[in-house]
Amino acid sequence: MEGSKSSMRRELKFLFAIWKANLQSAMEYHIAFIAQILGMMLNNAFYFLFWVIFFERFKEIRGWGLNDMFLVFGVTATSFGVTAFLFGNAFSLSDVIAQGRLDYYLSMPRPVLLHAVSARSIPSGMGDIIYGITSYLLSGYFSWGGLGRFVVGVILASTAFAAFLIIAHSLTFWLGNAAALARLLMNAILTFALYPITLFNGPAKFLLFTIVPAALMGSVPASLVRELTWQNLGGLFLGAAVLLGLAIVVFRLGLRRYESGSAIQVEV
């Protein structure tokens, strides 16, 4: 295993080079870049107004108040933003697969999946990140230790989210272009992540920890920020690791079926 450490460093160096190129690309249109960031922050703020209005009237939902919503939005928006900004191509992987654009990544001496998902950055993700951090700071749960846990929580949650996107889009290998289905699944995980987890019970709650692991993107990292317990941290870490492993396996299996646009694809 002596080589694995240096190979990890090599991949990181490569990743930074790609991110730099992405940033340069975005800077080519700096006005649009800034507009996207500000627009996304405003967009999120408007969306959050719903909860402000809601809690104005109902005060508390099974132990959750407005400050909990601030916290959950903080964690989820930041995690979403990190994934969008650093691994933006994960959002359009279906098209990349269906249109045969994996060829390019396959002809390069780098890990295909890592290369493919990091090859595009979605500028508005930066808006989500800034919004999310602000939302956390306003939540009333701020502490320096909490900030550390926030960072750890966001890293794990964005990993889980990216892995979920990869799995959803990899269905394209078997079904033909599954962009619409993947979009539905992404909406599902986001929607569920942004609601108080206390609303759900029984099978619904089970669903949120398994098939649509929204809990890993919202409530679990949020409770990690509130309080460090082994259950929170271990659960989140395990969840993210399992999802990531699954994503890599699914993608690899799919790659054996990859047709590089040589066969005519039919949209599902």
Q: Which residues bind another protein (CB under 8 A)?
A: 10, 13-14, 17-18, 20-21, 24-25, 28-29, 31-32, 35-36, 38-40, 42-43, 46-47, 49-50, 53-54, 56-58, 60-62, 100-104, 106-111, 124, 176, 179-181, 183-184, 187-188, 191-192, 195, 199-200, 204, 256, 258-260, 262-264, 266-268
Q: How far is the CB of 225 from another protein (least distance, A)?
A: 23
Count of Cβ atoms closer than 10 Å to residue 142 Cβ: 14
CA distance 127 to 37: 4
DSSP state of 216: G
Token pair of 74 as six digits: 């903080």
Among residues 44 and 232, whose Cβ is nearest to another protein?
44
Among residues 119 and 241, whose Cβ is nearest to another protein?
119
Among residues 174 and 231, whose Cβ is nearest to another protein?
174
Q: How far is the CB of 248 from another protein (least distance, A)?
A: 15
Among residues 108 and 151, whose Cβ is nearest to another protein?
108
Q: How far is the CB of 264 from another protein (least distance, A)?
A: 6
Q: How far is the CB of 151 from another protein (least distance, A)?
A: 27
Among residues 86 and 224, whose Cβ is nearest to another protein?
86
Q: How far is the CB of 81 from another protein (least distance, A)?
A: 14
Kindly give, in sequence order, each residue whose CB lies less than 8 Å from that of residue 124, ignoring residues fewer than 6 positions away.
36, 37, 39, 40, 84
Angle between helices 144-170 and 230-255 (to 10 degrees): 30
Among residues 85 and 150, whose Cβ is nearest to another protein?
85
CA distance 167 to 246: 8
Token pair of 247 as six digits: 């994503």
Q: How far is the CB of 181 from another protein (least distance, A)?
A: 5
Q: How far is the CB of 196 from another protein (least distance, A)?
A: 8
CA distance 3 to 114: 19
In order, the DSSP letters of 64-114 are B-HHHHHHHHHHHHHHHHHHHHHSGGGGGHHHHHHTTTHHHHHTSSS-HHH
Helices (DSSP H) in the chain: which residue ranges? 2-27, 30-58, 66-86, 93-98, 102-106, 112-118, 124-138, 144-170, 172-175, 179-193, 202-209, 219-226, 230-255
Among residues 137 and 175, whose Cβ is nearest to another protein?
175
